[in-house]
A = this chain, B = another copy of it.
Amino acid sequence: MATITDVAKEANVSVATVSRVLNKKNSVKPETVERVQKAIEKLSFEPNMSARNLRRNETRVILIIAPNITNPYYSHILAGIGDAANESKYSALIYNTSGDIAREKAGLEMLKKKRADGAILLANGMNSTWIQEYSKEYPIVQCSEYALKLDIPRISIDNYKAATDVMNYVIGLGHKRIATISSSNNYVSTALRLQGYLDSLKCHDLEIHKEYISMASVDYSFKSGKSCAYELLQQKYRPTAIFCISDILALGAITAASELGIRVPEDLTVIGFDDVDNTTMFHPYITTIAQPCYELGKESFRILNACMNDEKGINKKIVLPHKFIIRESSAPISI
C-alpha cells in the first residue's frame, strides 16, 4: 500500500505538497498538481484514514443506534440517514441493539473511542441521565422517539396532532364507540397518540371506556393486534372504530374482524399508523397516518451535521409533517 511519502518521491515533491493536493488547497502550481496526481494514479494511492483521522481528530463516521434494523419503519429511516450521510461524505456505522442496553452503551462508547463523530439515536432504552451526559460531550440527535424532558436535538412528527387528526376524522364520521390499540412500551410516540385519543374523546364529550383501550405487545406484532381486536370486538357493546398505533396492528385487527364476520369498513372502521407495512397490498387498503420516514432520517443527519459543525441557532426540535391518508378501511357509521 502506497503512502504519501511514496507519492512524494514519485512526484519529486515534499509530502506537504502531496497533502495540499489531496486536500485541494489552491496554493499549488497547476503543473505540480498534475505531476502529483499522476503519481497518485500510478501508485493507486489512497490516503490512510486512520492517519488522517488521528491527525484531524475526526472520523467522518456517524453512529446509528437502532433497536431493530429489521423493522421496516427503522430501515426506511436508516436509508434516509445513509443517503444524507453519503452526500456529506460520511459513512454510517450501524449498531443494531435489539433493545439490549449493553449494546447501546457499547455503541455510544464509540464516540469516546473516537470511532465516530456523532450519533443518531432511534428509540433507545437508556435512562435519561446517561444520554444527557453523552450529549454534553458529543453531537447526538434523537430520531422519531425521544426523552421528553431532555434538551437534546430531536426530529419527529407531531404524534399528538396526528392522533387528534385521526380522531377528528373518525368522530366526524359519526362514530361514538371508538377504541384504540396502543402498546405497553414507553415511547413518547405511544404516550402522545394515546393522549390525543383521550383528549379528542373528552373534547367531543364522548365517554372514555377502559374496555376500549387495549394494549398490544411492545413490538406491535400482527398477532397481538389480532388478539387485542378479538377482545375488543367480542364485548357486548363493541366499538365501531379502532384506532391502531401501527399498520401491522391494524392489519391484525382487520384479520380478527374478518374472522368474526365483522365487515371492514361497513361494520368497523380501522385506522393504522406509519404507512410502511403493506397498507395497500390487500383490501381493504388501510386508512392511516403516513410518516415521512426517509425524510426523518435525512433531516436527522442534517441536524447532526449542523451540531458536528458547531453551527449556532440550530432548531433543536424539528417536527416534520405527517399525512393523513384516507383509504378503504374507514367509513361513516352505518347503524
Contact = CB atoms under 8 A, between A and B. Distances in A.
A96 B47 CA distance: 23
Contact of A278 (B46, B95, B96, B278): B278
A93 B115 CA distance: 11
A96 B70 contact: no
Copies of this polypeptide in the complex: 2
Given A82-B96, A93-B92, A103-B86, A72 B72 contact: yes
Contacts of A48: 54, 113-114
A269 interface: no
Interface in A6-25: none
Contact of A49 (B96, B114, B251, B281): B114
Interface in A180-211: none
Contact of A91 (B68, B75, B110): B110
Contacts of A86: 103, 106
Contacts of A288: none
A128 interface: no
A249 to B, nearest CB: 12
Among A83, A113, A281, A282, find the residue whose CB has the most chain B CB atoms closer than 10 A: A281
A113 B53 CA distance: 11
A282 to B, nearest CB: 6
Interface in A76-106: 76, 78-79, 82-83, 86, 91-96, 103, 106
Contacts of A251: 281
Nearest to A294: B70
A82 B255 CA distance: 34
A152 interface: no
A92 B70 CA distance: 15
A50 interface: yes
Contact of A70 (B50, B79, B222, B281): B79
Contacts of A53: 50, 53
Contacts of A61: 93, 115
Contacts of A316: none
Contacts of A54: 48, 50-51, 54
Given A46-B109, A54-B48, A255-B282, A91 B69 contact: no
14 contacts: A1-B114, A46-B109, A48-B54, A49-B115, A50-B54, A50-B59, A61-B93, A68-B79, A70-B78, A75-B75, A91-B110, A91-B115, A94-B94, A222-B281
Interface of A: 1, 44, 46-51, 53-54, 59, 61, 68-70, 72, 75-76, 78-79, 82-83, 86, 91-96, 103, 106, 109-110, 112-115, 222, 251, 255, 278, 281-282
The 3 closest A-B pairs by CB, nearest first: A50-B53, A46-B112, A50-B54
